Amino acid sequence: MNIRNIAIIAHVDHGKTTLVDRLLQQSGTFRDNQKVAERVMDSNDLERERGITILAKATSVVWKDTRINIVDTPGHADFGAEVERILNMVDGAIVLVDAAEGPMPQTKFVVGKALKVGLKPIVAINKVDKPDARIDEVLNEVFDLFAALDADDEQLDFPVLYGSGKQGWMNDALDQVEGMDKLFELVLSHVPAPKTEEGQFRMLGTILEANPYLGRIITGRITSGTLKPNQTVKVLARDGKQVETGRVSKILAFRGIERVAVEEASAGDIVAIAGLTKGTVADTFCAPEVEAPIPAHPIDPPTVSMTFMVNDSPLAGTEGDKVTSRVIRDRLFKEAEGNVALKIEDTADADAFVVSGRGELQLAILIEQMRREGFELAVSRPRVVVKRDPETGQALEPVEEVTIDVDEEFAGSVVQKLSERKADMIEMRPSGGNRQRLVFHAPTRGLIGYLGELLTDTRGTAVMNRLFHAYAPYKGDIAGRRNGVLIANEPGEAVAYALWNLEDRGPMMIDPGTKVYQGMVVGEHTRENDLEVNVLKGKKLTNIRTTSKDEAVRLTPPIRMTLERALSWIGDDELVEVTPESIRLRKIHLDPNDRKRAEKARAAGVA
């Protein structure tokens, strides 16, 4: 059977996964009466809830006797680890662009890599039915982007389709038609058949996952030769060193959304293989006679790290059932097996582990998955991974390219806040509809916790996108959170009357009846210092009654802390306590005397 391999590239929320749904439906992959979930490629609950693709996944459809293997790539920079290698697995790419937003940073990141590899893109302008669609301008922006990314003449002569993935149509003109036929035909005519080489079996590992039944599963495209179950396979690292030798227990091919075991796979096809215990992404899986590995991109280094600790608060173990350091360590190392972007390290303290990843969103999603599985743990504020220049010994920190779309009236406050966070403005231009597009190079440190502040400053109208840019010289200290916190001074259940009396001290983070303990953060102080407060103090009852005195206590609704917001809000001397039912903020040292000693030690260290 003829084969075509394509990737779908788009920024987060531009409609990749919905488009794949329509391609699967219209190619006859599903029966007419088959009940299929919406966004079928979003395989876990978190992907469905947040509407983002976290894991790269492959599927295949058959159209006019040609099998089209489609890879749905993540649109978020934190999960872009696999994207570069995926592009080596395919021969064409559909660049999907929102008709209103135009090309965004993540599109730029992946398209740049696709053009470098030599892929000829097909541009699909999606969501043309939106009332604020600006189709011609977006098409010009895509052309300018390709030109800026050094596309050759052949790549700049790209075919364009217009349509709506949600409504299920794509056409080479703006007239609405039935179905995706034009897109299928264009894939068959524009995307070349996979290049294969003569010789023994060779395959580059591209996507890694851990399966409870089959062990490690590696997905990749076979470059040359054929593979059968029980065949002996050698694994070579990027530098040519042998990693292991083993037998392939199963070969899984993508047939629709299912993975089916096959008896033979040949060059050009995308398959997943099981049975090897050490081979990973960027390794070459080959016949024992092969000596040279396939050239591969190294895995990008992590830029943000956090400390995961055993929960040692007074409420530990009351809500979750997985609380010991052994089960937390096993879970983290199991996650690292299937996720090449994560790095787990043991520390001198047996109850704490350093977890490094691509960004705070990636680490927050790992924590969210763990709490849903019944884990309890405490996590520190995210820290950036600082490198040393090997020649000069100078400290280098990660810098990101930040694109912010904002209403003109708020642009000044955004520029001011980011300059305080040591960001350099690169570009400022109008983006239609009285909005400005601002582009900055900002240190990752300065962006931790900025999103909530940005949304407050712009009344929720700004859209921020981030992308790793490079390592640059350390830019000096950045002022963190300016306000102190309100700390509970004894254990018990919060009382409405006490919270009401404390409202002028600052906004609270707990409701009446919430269990608290000494050292737990219950609110934000209006001043810069921390303040210990009593949230258990009830009203003194007397036999005098007046209507004004006994008016019902009316409380201001408390600040609701989501996991991501809590991680970016806490200071260096605070932790987030995460359980299946609660997210609490606390000081590292619960006892006030321990806190004072630690503060003095820190001040002496700085001096």
- Ligand-binding annotation for 17, yes or no, is yes
CA separation for the pair 379, 477 (Å, rounded): 23
- Mean pLDDT for the chain overall: 82
- Ligand-binding annotation for 126, yes or no, is yes
Per-residue pLDDT, averaged over 149-167, amounts to 86
Fold of 202-286: Elongation Factor Tu (Ef-tu); domain 3 (2.40.30)
- Ligand-binding annotation for 128, yes or no, is yes
Pick the CATH number of 387-473 from 3.40.1360.10, 3.40.462.10, 3.30.70.240, 3.40.50.300: 3.30.70.240
Contact 312, 378 (CB under 8 A): yes
- pLDDT at residue 565, as a whole number: 82
Per-residue HEC secondary structure of 302-333 comes to CCEEEEEECCCCCCCCCCCCECCHHHHHHHHH
What pLDDT, in 10s, does the model give residues 541-600? 766 665 555 456 778 888 888 888 888 888 888 999 999 999 999 999 999 899 899 888
Q: Does domain 2-190 have CATH number 3.30.70.3040?
A: no
Is it the case that residue 378 has pLDDT exceeding 90?
yes
| 315 Cβ contact list (under 8 Å, min separation 6) | 515, 517, 577, 579, 584
**Per-domain boundaries in the chain:** 2-190, 202-286, 387-473
Q: Per DSSP, what are the bridge partners of residue 401?
A: 441, 467
CA torsion through residues 505, 455, 438, 395, sign: positive
- Ligand-binding annotation for 324, yes or no, is no
**Single pTM value for the model:** 0.75
Length of the chain equals: 607
Is it the case that residue 533 has pLDDT exceeding 60?
yes
| 265 Cβ contact list (under 8 Å, min separation 6) | 222, 226, 227, 251, 253, 271
- Ligand-binding annotation for 129, yes or no, is yes
- pLDDT at residue 146, as a whole number: 86
CA separation for the pair 397, 543 (Å, rounded): 65
- pLDDT at residue 54, as a whole number: 44
- Ligand-binding annotation for 573, yes or no, is no
What pLDDT, in 10s, does the model give residues 105-156? 667 767 877 888 888 889 988 888 888 888 888 899 888 888 888 888 888 8
Per-residue pLDDT, averaged over 194-205, amounts to 84
| 326 Cβ contact list (under 8 Å, min separation 6) | none
Q: Residue 219: helix, strand or coil by DSSP?
A: strand
Per-residue pLDDT, averaged over 267-293, amounts to 86
* C-alpha distances in Å from residue 480, one per residue of 203, 303, 423, 445, 484: 48, 19, 14, 10, 11
